[in-house]
Structures are given as structure tokens and as C-alpha cells.
Amino acid sequence: MKNIKYPYVTERMIRNHSINIGGIRVYFLCSDSIGAKSSSIFIKSNSTSILIDPGVAAMQPGYPLDEKYKIKIANYSRKIILKYARRAKTIIITHYHYDHFMDPGSAPELYLGKKLYIKNPNIFINRSQWKRARNFFRELIEILNNSNHGLHHLLKKSKIKNIPKLGIKDIFTKPDNIAFKNPMEYLSIASNKNFGSYQKRREELLKKGENWFKKLSTELWLKNPWIKEFNNHDISVHFAEGKTIKIGDLNLKFSQPLFHGIEFDRIGWVFGITISKDNKKLLYTSDIQGPFIEDYAKWIIDENPDLLIIDGPPTYLYGYLINKTNFTRALENILWIIKSIKAQYVIYDHHLTRSDNYYKLLSEIYYQDKKHKLKTTAELFGLPPLILKLKDRIE
């Protein structure tokens, strides 16, 4: 590993390789292809700044890099994210996985003085993220109340004065009485697709998924207190899904909840974001993994962004948690997307580059990508993805 420097990508490289889409400047702060689990980006325009998914985690045990280097890259990326957070007016969190957000208690400077648009913590959320979301709000209230954190300097810097005490009970409310429909009703393409010999097994899995969804909605979402949106002086919390808003000179459109992977994936749900200014558009998908689901590919194509930032299928789980049928779906869908949208670049990275076989598994897609739209973040920086660099060193 002597010829590989860590961190693999420096802050100067991040600054020098930002992309400008009609006055929407995009900085790629961290991604899997540069050695840490993350898809954090920073958006800057003439009048505002937005930080999306400010989280990072060290690579999984099977990633072929010494643990100390995994931690070193993750820690460096965390410092970069927190540095850009100081410049951001708005924070967006698409779901409660630790490679997409940081707990307020560990990074209070990330949230104080900000407007937050985050994943709804009450519905379309699995049990583990339900718990993480409530811990997120508990810690958020603690830093707002300035308890046990010594944040006087941060409060002064963010111009917060005389904050009233806010308890966790103050932001709880009774759950709404909602009749949840089967999510497959909103996925007409995937629902009507013929999977041939896999169809019977698929129908069995969809039935299990529907039962899981019903149990989740009735026993968790509708039987427990909900968290409310709130505004506490110069920090405000909004649940993003389905909203269309304007921040400065940018128009933001948040998608409805999207499966984190295949239909009824137990990992939960995320939301995507379309950011536009004048006639230019950026689309950030968050974790739709491929996309596996055809209707999500159609959504991207209909949006027709000038820049698409999309995560790929988790190649390191292929043959284990991801079968050949669904992996093939993801490849067919990304090919459909790149042939249909006008984007010059499609940043295809998160999840994708955690295994050194990713390029081989996608070789046909790269071959058919005649305009070379598909790029990892590392390749945008003029580097090979770290996993391929490590493979060369290993061999």
C-alpha cells in the first residue's frame, strides 16, 4: 500500500473538481469510490447552500484495506463534511443510516442554526431507523437546551439567544389515522413485469413483504406517538417527503418514500431530491440501489436531469443477499436511464464500488455506455476507484 496516499482524495481535489450546472455548483465530499461509505454532497448557488446526507462510515470488514486506513479515510471525510456544514444553511437527511447522517450529540455544529429537511420519522420507516430517528431527536433537543455539551460558543456563533427549554414530550403527538395502501399500487411497471421462471418465487416474496408492511404500519406507525415538525428560534425541522419548496434561487422537489432497494426491502425507505434553477436540474436519488425498481428508473427519465447522482447495486452482496434476477434488473434499468436522459455525467458510485468485482459485473453496461456518462466520484477526480487501485496492489 506504499504507493497509495491516505486520504485518497483531498479537500483541494474536492474544490477543483466541483461541477457547475447552470449556477448550481455541486461538491462531492465523500463517496464509496474514494474509500468510505458515504454519498455526501454540498450544493452552492448565488443565494444559498445545502448539505445533503452529511454522514460517513468506515468500509465493511471484507473491504481489502487495513482497518487503520479505513478509519483514517472516514475520519478525514467527517472533517470535510463538518467543514462544509459551516457554510450550509440547509441540511437534508434522506434516511437514518449512519453513512447518511451524524447523531447531533456527536456533531452539534452540524445542526445548530440550520433548517433541516429530513426523512419522516413516523411512517415508511423500519424499526431500526424508527429507533435511530427518536435518538436523533432526543440528542437534537439536548443540544438545543445546551445540556451536557458546553455549546455556549456555538450558540453565540449561531446567534441563538434565550432558547426556551424544549423537552422530548413537547415534540410528541398522537399518530394520524391513516389507511396505508399497498405500495405496489404505485409501482405499475414493476407490478406488471413478467419475471418468467422467477415469477412464482417473486409473488411469494411480495406476499411476505405485504404482510411485513401491514404489521409495520399497524403495530409500529399507528400505535406509537409521532414526532412533530418544529421551529425553535433559528433551527427548524421539516419532514421532506412529497414537498416542493424554494430555498433562495433553488427549487427543490422531494420524492415520495422510495424503497431502499427491491420491493419491500427490510432496510426501509428513503427519498430522492430534484434541485433546479432556471432550466437546469440536478437529481440525487439517495439509496434506491441500482435502481432495482423499474418505476424509479422511469421517474428519473421523466425528470431528465442535467446531472444525475445515483447509487448502484451493492455488488459486494451479489450472490448473497442480491440474486441474479434483481441484479439484472438494476443493470437493465441503469442502461435504460443513461440512454434516455440528457445528462453529460451520471455519477454512479454509492454501494457500487465496495467490491473489486464491480467493474466486471457491470462490464456490459460500461461497454454500452458509448458517451461515457457513467463515472464514479473518484473518476470525476481523475483517479481510479480506490477498490481497483487496491486490487492492483494486492495482485
| pLDDT, tens digit, 9 for 90 and up, residues 298-310 | 999 999 999 999 9
| pLDDT, tens digit, 9 for 90 and up, residues 339-358 | 999 999 999 999 999 999 99
Q: Is residue 3 part of a domain?
A: no
pLDDT reading at 15 higher than 90: yes
Dihedral sign of CA atoms 213, 180, 314, 364 in order: positive
Give the DSSP H or E segment for 106. none
Q: Is residue 6 part of a domain?
A: no
Nearest to 95 by CA among 356, 346, 287, 292: 287
Query: The sheet that has 374-375: what strands, in order across it?
Result: 244-247, 250-254, 273-277, 280-284, 307-310, 345-348, 374-375
Q: Is residue 1 part of a domain?
A: no
95/6 Cα distance (integer angstroms): 29
Angle between helices 294-303 and 324-340 (to 10 degrees): 10
Decide: 330 and 292 in contact? Cβ < 8 Å.
yes
pLDDT band at 157 (very low <50, low <70, confident <90, very high): low
Instruction: Give me the pLDDT at residue 335, please.
Output: 97
Instruction: Give me the pLDDT at residue 382, please.
Output: 96
Instruction: Give me the pLDDT at residue 391, please.
Output: 83
Q: How many residues does the chain have?
A: 395
How far, in Å, are 92, 308, 378 from residue 53 at the CA level? 6, 16, 18
pLDDT band at 152 (very low <50, low <70, confident <90, very high): very low
Q: Is residue 2 part of a domain?
A: no
Instruction: Give me the pLDDT at residue 164, please.
Output: 59
Q: Is residue 246 part of a domain?
A: yes
- Of 7-21, 136-150, 318-332, the one with minimum mean pLDDT is 136-150
Q: Which structural domain, as residue segments, surrounds residue 90?
A: 11-394
| pLDDT, tens digit, 9 for 90 and up, residues 64-73 | 999 999 999 9
Please measure the distance between the N-terminal and C-terminal CA atoms of the chain and give it in whole angstroms: 12
Instruction: Give me the pLDDT at residue 35, please.
Output: 97
Instruction: Give me the pLDDT at residue 144, please.
Output: 84
Q: Is residue 4 part of a domain?
A: no
Please tell me the total count of domains within the chain.
1
Q: Is residue 143 part of a domain?
A: yes
Instruction: Give me the pLDDT at residue 158, please.
Output: 52
Q: Which CATH number do you get for residue 65?
A: 3.60.15.10
Region for residue 104 given its phi and psi (left: phi exceeds 0; alpha: psi -120 to 50; beta: otherwise): alpha
Instruction: Give me the pLDDT at residue 145, please.
Output: 81
| pLDDT, tens digit, 9 for 90 and up, residues 245-280 | 999 999 999 999 999 999 999 999 999 999 999 999
How far, in Å, are 162, 167, 265, 304 from residue 156 at the CA level? 11, 22, 44, 43
| pLDDT, tens digit, 9 for 90 and up, residues 286-329 | 999 999 999 999 999 999 999 999 999 999 999 999 999 999 99
Tell me which of 158 and 23 has the higher pLDDT: 23
Q: Does this model's pTM top 0.75?
A: yes
Find the mean pLDDT for residues 110-133.
97
Instruction: Give me the pLDDT at residue 5, please.
Output: 86
Q: How many CA atoms lie within 13 A of 204 on its CB side?
A: 5
Q: Is residue 207 part of a domain?
A: yes
Burial class (CB in 10 A: 0-12, 13-18, 19+), 82: middle
